[in-house]
Structure 1
Amino acid sequence: MNTLIAYAGKTGNTAKCARRLAIRLKNVTLIDLNVEEVSPKDFDAVIVASPVYSHKFERSV
C-alpha cells in the first residue's frame, strides 16, 4: 500500500510526529504542505497532520 503523510505546522512538532509515524509504516511519502503541493489521488491511503489554532487547521492544509 502506498501511503501519503501530508503535514504542515509552524513550530516543527507536527513534522516530528509525521516523521515518527513514517518510520512505522511502509511505502510512505512524506510531504510538507508549507513547501509543496501533492495530489492524494496517487496514493492508496492519506494521513493529514496539522496543528489546530483557534479551532482551525493550519492554512496550508
Structure 2
Amino acid sequence: MRTLIAYAGKTGNTAKCARKIAIHLNQVTLVDLNAEVVNPKDFDAVIVASPVYSHKFERSVGSFLKKYQEILQTKP
C-alpha cells in the first residue's frame, strides 16, 4: 500500500513525528507541505500531520485539505 504522510510545521516537531510514523510503514512518501506540492490521488492512504494554532491547522495543511477534500474523503 502506497502511503502519503503530508505534514507541515514551524519548529520541526511535526516533521519528527511524521518520520517516526514513516519508519513503521512500507512504501511511504513524506512531504513537507510548506516546501512541496503533492497530489494525494496517487496514494492508497494519506496521513496528514499539523500543529494547531488558535484552533486552526498550519496554513499549508489547511489549504491541502481544502484543495483535495473530495479525493481525501475516499481514502482510508
The TM-score bracket by the shorter chain reads: over 0.9
* Runs of 5+ unmatched residues, structure 1: none
Q: Which has the higher contact order (CA 8 A, sep 6+)?
A: 1
TM-score where L is the length of structure 1: 0.99
Higher strand residue share: 1
Residue in structure 1 matched with residue 3 of structure 2 by the alignment: 3
Pairwise CA RMSD of aligned residues? 0.3
What 5-or-longer segments of structure 2 have no aligned partner?
A: 62-76
**Normalized per residue, which structure has more helix?**
2
Moved over 4 A (4+): none
Q: How many residues align?
A: 61
**Percent identity between the two aligned chains:** 84
- Aligned equivalent of 2:28: 28
